[in-house]
Amino acid sequence: MSEYVRITVTLTQPVAVGRNVRADSRQDTHNHVPGSVLRGALAAAWIHRRGQEVTRSSEFLETFEGTGSFGPLHSADSLPVPLSVKRHKYEASQRCRSEWDAAYGQHATTCEECGDPLVFSKGQPRGRVPLESRTTTALTPEGVVRDGHLFTQSMLKEETRLSGWLHGPATHALCCAGEPIRTLSLGSRRSLRGSVTVDVDTTAEPDLIECVGEDIILRLAAPAVFCDDFGFPTDRPDLRELSDVLGVEALEVTGAWTRWDEVGGWHAASGLPKPVERAVAAGSTYRIHCAKAPSPESLRTLATRGIGLRRREGFGALYVAPRPEAHT
């Protein structure tokens, strides 16, 4: 298996990847599949094939608990608009330019065509992801709806296609007991929904991380966890880690457009919520000055490996945004 592989899933049933239950009993879904969910589904497939004892094998631990990365599965529509991008505050006219990217030095505050103010992206998805919702309930043994158990669940629609990258030892997760994994169950209530087919492309090459002269532009496709030298959360990537991966010295963060996010989750084995942690939000963008331009090979490695801590849990994945129009 190569250093990285591209995985594409096609939903054969609706998929619900739960976010927080809201006060109005609606359960939102992620508009993509987080890397942690992909990792959990692949591990479940291994356990289904080889039994619970496989979780004690060195092969399993290296694949699922090792240095690999399980990236999120996204469509072009579900990826966030980078936080460095400015758009019209109000509706743009047809003649207007649509985006300005501060990571490329485009610092306009108003549209030169219509004069409207421009505002930074909040990391919203670039397009509309088709969702459907279903209302379900839990019944008591007497057949009465349990208090507080009627809720509406939104789900990703059947036939949606989502893609992402696995890097390093995580690529081994796609083959178990000599047989490739061709189907998975993703998300909650897997007996009722969540089936996907899996296509693996070992020859695909990722888009190169954006490069301007000796600078690189990094954009987070998933929340990222960074620590400073004292172990405290920070919103800046580790330049030593970047220098190691790129093979050239990463000297300075010259631009950062970030937000904090709170990341929790559900620990399936214990049936308890995981502690909520601070992470840098998806869509956050950095411009980083390097001693010289990194090689294309190292930029491909970085694109599929991601940055920061807990990459095997889907944190720190990167993406490449459409290149902005030239500055006018």
* Footprint on residues 114-133 left by Zn ion (CB under 5 A): 114
Alpha helices in the chain (DSSP H): 35-50, 58-65, 239-246, 296-305
CB nearer to Zn ion: give 38 or 111. Answer: 111
Residues 76-115, one symbol each (x = binds Zn ion by CB under 5 A, - = not), give ----------------x---x--------------x-xx-
For residue 117, the minimal CB distance to Zn ion (Å) is 10
Which is nearer to Zn ion, 77 or 113 (by Cβ)? 113
CB of 92 to Zn ion, least distance (A): 5
DSSP string computed for 23-77 = TTSEEEE-SSB-HHHHHHHHHHHHHHHH-GGGGGSHHHHHHHHSS-EEPPBB-TT
Per-position b or e across 80-114, b if 16+ CB within 10 A of its CB: bbbbbbbbbeeebeeeebebbbbbbebeeeebeee
Q: Which of 90, 121, 97, 122 is nearest to 111 (CA)?
A: 97
- Distance in Å, CB of 95 to Zn ion, minimum: 8
Structure tokens at 16: 């619900």
Q: How far is the CB of 90 from Zn ion (least distance, A)?
A: 9
Q: Provide the minimum distance between the beta carbon of 186 and Zn ion in the complex, in angstroms, as a whole number.
A: 40
Angle at Cα 319 formed by Cα 281 and Cα 65, nearest 5°?
A: 75
Closer to Zn ion by Cβ: residue 81 or 220: 81
Nearest-angstrom CA–CA distance, 111 and 9: 39
Interaction of residue 248 with Zn ion, rule CB under 5 A = no
* Cα of 83 vs its chain's centroid, Å: 15
Between 90 and 232, whose beta carbon lies closer to Zn ion?
90
CB of 109 to Zn ion, least distance (A): 12
Exposed/middle/buried for residue 135 (C-beta within 10 Å: 0-12, 13-18, 19+): exposed
# of chain residues touching Zn ion (CB under 5 A): 5
- In the complex, the smallest distance separating the C-beta of residue 101 from Zn ion, rounded to whole angstroms, is 16
Region 37-76 residues binding Zn ion, contact defined as CB under 5 A:
none
Structure tokens at 112: 């030169």
Q: Which is nearer to Zn ion, 114 or 248 (CB)?
A: 114
Q: Which is nearer to Zn ion, 60 or 100 (CB)?
A: 100
Using the minimum distance from each CB to Zn ion, give the nearer residue, 316 or 324. 324
Binding stretches for Zn ion (CB under 5 A): 92, 96, 111, 113-114
